[in-house]
Structure 1
Amino acid sequence: MRIYVLVEDYSGYESPFLAQHGISFLIEKDGKGVLFDTGQSAEPILHNMRLLGLDPSSHIDYIFLSHCHYDHTGGLLGILKAIGKRVPVIAHPEIFRRHFITKPHLRDVGMPFRREEVEELADLYLTPKPLEIVEGIYSTGEIRSREDFEQRGIGVYTLKDGQVVEDSIMDDMSVVAKTSEGLVIVSGCSHAGIVSIVKHAIRMTGERRIKAVIGGFHLIGEDNERIERTVKEFGELGVEEVYTGHCTGLKAETAFLAEYGERFHKLHSGMVMEF
């Protein structure tokens, strides 16, 4: 299995690859490609794919959207047009809901497209349940069992029966791949809590070995207590390698680096991982 970082907040040192706030991975296994998230826009992803020798029409068979945020879904229509054929788009049923912040002003931060626009180009598979996409690669489905220490709101809201209510981002889902070395878990922003996601993956698969956890952990702006607890839980769960960036934050990244040493890897556009 090979995982390409098609776009990330960081492009690396002296790199020809483009960076953008957001994330997009291409997961390849058994001749099939799962595009995990689509960044803010298609242009940097398509540029980086060209540098990697990847053709969207022949390397992307499925698209998985981890949650509704614009920095994970904004490139969707552009990518679908570049693929040039209908492909399945896998996501949570609530991904098209109204999703917004109010500080410093009212601003929509959710999916920037209507459902009808996506359905013109792709086939939607909207489910809150786990789904096998390619043999051995699964959507986690909704993460309902969440660790108490990971449940602080981030100031996002939705509308329910005309009322403004805090949005718990229940559409946050991840991908789990079974490998001979253990599970490889890929997350977008980990709004469900990265420890909660890892524990859910263990329960879902029955596999306790965790080869790698990859993605944004949304620890930016979090206090030392939560960061230290997260790193400690990773150790107790036996997570072997950590690949992170995007919304994890420098303070959390340095804590993982201190604990994991050479088993810590900073994500960057153009990075290729093999398992």
Structure 2
Amino acid sequence: MRLSVLVDNVALTDRYFLAEPGLSIYLEDGETRLLFDAGYSGILVPNARKMGIDLLNVEEIVLSHGHLDHTWGLDALIRLHTEAILEGQRRVPPTFVAHPDAFLTRSCDGVGEIGCHLSVEELFRHGKVLLTTGPLWLTKNLVFLGEIERRFEFEQTPPIGYVYTPDGIRDDTVVDDTALACRTPEGLVVITGCSHSGICSIVEQAREVCGDDRILDVIGGFHLLNTPPRQMRGILDYFSEVQPAALHPCHCTDLAAKIALAKVANVRETGVGLTLEYGFG
């Protein structure tokens, strides 16, 4: 598998890419091309172009959850496909994969919409839409983990605003938050969006779904911002036990959390422009 970071809060030093508070990761697994999240403003399009990545060939667009910093960049992708159709360019109609709650309206701190502002019906006009709460194998080695079982008490966090459902308004615990996992000969690579469901719970679900306890790498947002000491201790104890070969925390992970994680694991720099390759046997 080959992985490239298209959107992150920072770009790698001396790499002239655009950055923003958001996340988007491009993946190639054999002949399959996927996009995990779309960032906020659409900068994934020029960043991908500069990296030699053709987003019109992406077969599946997977959403980690419905927040704006992971979904509002879909507008730019839809414009890209629309212009390709008008110009007669070759394109692959994408399949959108997500948890069913990823398209609900959300509000927080007086902001009327912090969720995806595209509906399932609108996305259906541009490709297929596949909604699932369970794990879904996208390739022989790459799996969408589905709704994450929240296994650790120390990872329980307060709701983030409100979510508007057909049954009424409720506290938003971001139940749609999910991740990807890829099997490699050296262990699992876990690719996270924001880890609202808990980074340790996500890794545990990946180990369970894939039937492999070895963690080669975890890359993505860990949602560790001003983390309470008790939560941080639990996470550090967990990774001390799991012993991942590497961690690439980014996006919603602050410097203090990265420094703490570096005491128990091999934390590596992450940013727009980073490309990683993991082999298969």
- Settle same-fold status: TM greater than 0.5: yes
2: distance between equivalents of 1:34 and 1:192?
Answer: 23
Task: Return the alpha-carbon distance in structure 1 between the equivalents of residues 271 and 35 of structure 2.
Answer: 16
Give the match for residue 50 of structure 1: 49
Stretch deviating more after TM superposition (207-216 or 114-123): 114-123
Unaligned runs of 5+ residues in structure 1 are: none
Measure, in 1, the Cα distance between the counterparts of 2:127 and 2:104.
Answer: 19
User: Does the residue aligned with 1:142 lie in a helix, a strand or coil?
Assistant: coil
Question: Cα distance, 1:14 vs. partner?
Answer: 2.5
| 1:80 aligned residue (74, 78, 81) | 78
Map 1:219-258 onto structure 2 (within 5 A): 219-258=224-263
CA distance in 2, matches of 1:95, 1:264: 30
Partner of 1:92: 99
User: How far does the alpha carbon of each residue in 1:99-134 deviate from its partner, in whole angstroms, 9 at most, with x for none?
Assistant: 111x2x243111121222211101000010110111
1:61 and 1:87 in contact (8 A); partners too: yes
**TM-score (norm: length of structure 2):** 0.91
Distance 1:181 1:247, change over 3 A: same
Q: Is the 8 A contact 1:221 1:249 kept in 2?
A: yes
Q: Is the 8 A contact 1:212 1:239 kept in 2?
A: yes
TM-score by length of 1: 0.93
RMSD: 1.5
Which of these residues, 178, 200, 220, is aligned with residue 205 of structure 2?
A: 200
CA distance, structure 1, for counterparts of residue 195 and residue 260 of structure 2? 17
Task: Map 1:55-66; keep pairs closer than 5 Å.
Answer: 55-58=54-57, 60-66=58-64
SS in 2 for 1:4: strand
| Correspondent of 1:143 among 126, 141, 148 | 148
- CA deviation after TM superposition for structure 1 residue 173, in Å: 1.1
Q: Does 1:3 align with 2:8?
A: no
**CA deviation after TM superposition for structure 1 residue 163, in Å:** 4.6
- Output one character per residue of 1:150-202: Cα deviation in whole Å (capped at 9) or x when no partner: 11114321135675421111111100100000000000000110000111111
**Quick check: 1:243–1:265 contact (8 Å CA) kept in 2?**
yes
Say if 1:81 and 1:121, in contact at 8 Å, map to a contact too. no
Aligned to 1:15: 15
**Counterpart amino acid of residue 67 in structure 2:** H
1:181 aligns with 2:186: yes
Count of paired positions:
269
Q: How far has the Cα of 1:209 moved from its partner?
A: 0.6
Cα distance in 2, alignment partners of residues 145 and 114 from structure 1: 27
- Structure 2 residues without counterparts, runs of 5 or longer: 82-90
Q: How far apart are the structure 1 equivalents of 2:165 and 2:118?
A: 20
Post-superposition offset of 1:228: 2.6
The amino acid of 2:160's aligned partner reads: G
Equivalents in 2 of 1:213, 1:266: separation in Å?
A: 12
For the residue of structure 1 that corresponds to 2:154, the secondary structure is helix
Which amino acid in the other structure matches residue 192 of structure 2?
S
